[in-house]
Homo-oligomer: A and B are copies of this chain.
Amino acid sequence: MRQVRHDKPIISSLFDANDFYKFTMGQFVWQRYLGTEVISAFRNRTKKVRLAEIIDLGQLREELDHVRSLRFNNSELHYLRGTNEYGDRMFCEPYLEFLKGLALPQYELGTDGAEINLRFPGPWEKQIYWETIALAIVNELYARALMKPLSRFEQETVLSTGRLRLAEKIKFLRENPTIVFSDFGSRRRFSGEWQAYVNDVLCEEVPNQFLGSSNTYLAMRNGTVPMGTAAHELQMVVAGLRDGQKDWIRVSQREVTEGWWKLYGYGLSIFLPDTYTTRTFDENLTDEEVMKWKGDRWDSGDPIVFGESRINRYERLGIDPKTRMLIPSDGLDTAMIKKLHDHFYGRIKMSYGWGTNLTNDLFDSTMRGNLWYGPLSLVIKPVSANGRGLVKLSDNPPKATGAPEDIKRYMEAVGYDPNTPSVECKY
């Protein structure tokens, strides 16, 4: 395996690093919110890294421009048409026709001091496909910047470290054969080549535990399950569109939950409840919905509290929690997976969405000069919809994202009180 490739673009297919949930959300958006003007913005949460001084903006522009030249090909559309893991014909022909003609919209790139200012304005149904692709590009350019000052041998050492850590993960998985998981690490990957390598190795070494990848290209390439349902983005934008109406959070939440079920039914019925605190989400959910849906994805707050709250809820309704699913997807590593598995295994179905730590675990997490040898925390989130500022509270509201005045308004709307937990749980 070559360490650093400069001879071909980072992204060479619109499936690569494009997480499957962009298509499930993409069709939803295309059917219901066509023409909504959304702006998504890149943000580096690893503040100690002065990204604009490390990554060459010309190179970044070249990679992004190359993505704009790509189109979905017939085989990719055949694959989407034939995907049946979540139900038969989940993608309708007119949506596939739309994808066939899609070119990703223009982006805006500049700097803001030491930070990269990268924004994706455009109709929601088109700009939605930038998120995970653009994150994968920035991450790979950053990884190249980390590799560049190293000698050839040091570069090999980095890859050897990555391999040995992957070997430790595989050992852990073999010792815990009831753990099943998926790769959710496209957006934070060291490189496309490395993510592909990790997927190949997992397919060979732990085929019964490694279920699939959120990376549509790799799931297709390896015949694993394309993993994904929905992201906070959906709830955030729709809330923004209903902002100003009475009870807009409840209204938008009902709109997304009912619309999602109507479009995908049981196959993709995984709640992502924490956009505006799980407590609020739960209050707006009907018992009938809890009875019907498969389960929840956990993405913020305390996972034990969250899981217990789901089990409580099921038991209150006389549902056997063992028939339902919990998908932890925030900050997983073997220790966290082990802790959650020991706590929940046998009580509720667990399926782990393993991200950054799976696809970008090669460095020793030290600062050397201005370079942080470790993964970055980068996100691309919608910041406005038809001009309205967007907010995400999560189950950790003090870390809410959005403009301060918007956050305040949303917190009031959900009746946020620092002394009340975001997830109600008798545990």
Q: Which residues of B contact A83 (CB under 8 A)?
A: 78, 82
**A77 and B73 within 8 A (CB):** no
The residue that A220 contacts in the complex, of B75, B80, B224, B225, with Cβ under 8 A, is: B75
* Bound CA–CA A370/B82 (angstroms): 49
* Mask of A29-46 contacts with B, CB within 8 angstroms, 1/0: 000000000000000000
* Bound CA–CA A238/B82 (angstroms): 31
Which of A76, A82, A219, A223 has the most chain B CB atoms closer than 10 A to its own CB?
A82
Which of A76, A78, A219, A222 has the most chain B CB atoms closer than 10 A to its own CB?
A78
* Bound CA–CA A219/B75 (angstroms): 8
**A84 and B78 within 8 A (CB):** yes
* Bound CA–CA A84/B222 (angstroms): 22
Q: Which residues of B contact A365 (CB under 8 A)?
A: none
* Bound CA–CA A74/B84 (angstroms): 9
Q: Which residues of B contact A224 (CB under 8 A)?
A: 74
Name A41-83 residues within 8 Å CB distance of B.
Answer: 73-83
* Mask of A367-385 contacts with B, CB within 8 angstroms, 1/0: 0000000000000000000
The residue that A82 contacts in the complex, of B73, B82, B85, B222, with Cβ under 8 A, is: B82
* Bound CA–CA A85/B74 (angstroms): 9
Q: Which residues of B contact A220 (CB under 8 A)?
A: 75, 78
A221 at the interface (CB under 8 A from B): yes
Q: Which residues of B contact A219 (CB under 8 A)?
A: 75
* Bound CA–CA A24/B78 (angstroms): 16
Which of A74, A221, A224 has the most chain B CB atoms closer than 10 A to its own CB?
A74
**How far is the CB of A223 from the nearest CB of chain B, in Å?**
3
Q: Which residues of B contact A75 (CB under 8 A)?
A: 79, 219-223
* Bound CA–CA A221/B85 (angstroms): 21
Q: Which residues of B contact A222 (CB under 8 A)?
A: 73, 75
* Bound CA–CA A406/B239 (angstroms): 77
* Bound CA–CA A223/B12 (angstroms): 13
Nearest residue, chain B, Cβ from A224: B74
Q: Which residues of B contact A225 (CB under 8 A)?
A: 74
**How far is the CB of A390 from the nearest CB of chain B, in Å?**
34
**How far is the CB of A302 from the nearest CB of chain B, in Å?**
35
Nearest residue, chain B, Cβ from A225: B74
Q: Which residues of B contact A77 (CB under 8 A)?
A: 82
* Bound CA–CA A341/B83 (angstroms): 40
Nearest residue, chain B, Cβ from A72: B223
* Mask of A217-235 contacts with B, CB within 8 angstroms, 1/0: 0011111110000000000
**B79 and A78 within 8 A (CB):** yes
* Bound CA–CA A79/B225 (angstroms): 14
**A223 and B76 within 8 A (CB):** yes
Nearest residue, chain B, Cβ from A78: B82
**How far is the CB of A427 from the nearest CB of chain B, in Å?**
38
* Mask of A79-97 contacts with B, CB within 8 angstroms, 1/0: 1111111000000000000
* Bound CA–CA A79/B75 (angstroms): 7
Nearest residue, chain B, Cβ from A71: B223
**A223 and B84 within 8 A (CB):** no
Q: Which residues of B contact A223 (CB under 8 A)?
A: 73-76
Known: A74-B85, A75-B79, A75-B219. 6 other contacts (CB 8 A): A74-B224, A74-B225, A75-B223, A78-B220, A79-B82, A82-B82
- Those 9 A-B pairs whose CB atoms lie nearest each other, nearest first: A73-B223, A82-B82, A81-B82, A78-B82, A75-B223, A74-B223, A75-B220, A78-B79, A78-B83
- A residues engaging B (CB < 8 A)? 73-85, 219-225
A-B contact pairs, 5 of them (CB 8 A): A75-B220, A78-B83, A78-B84, A78-B220, A79-B82
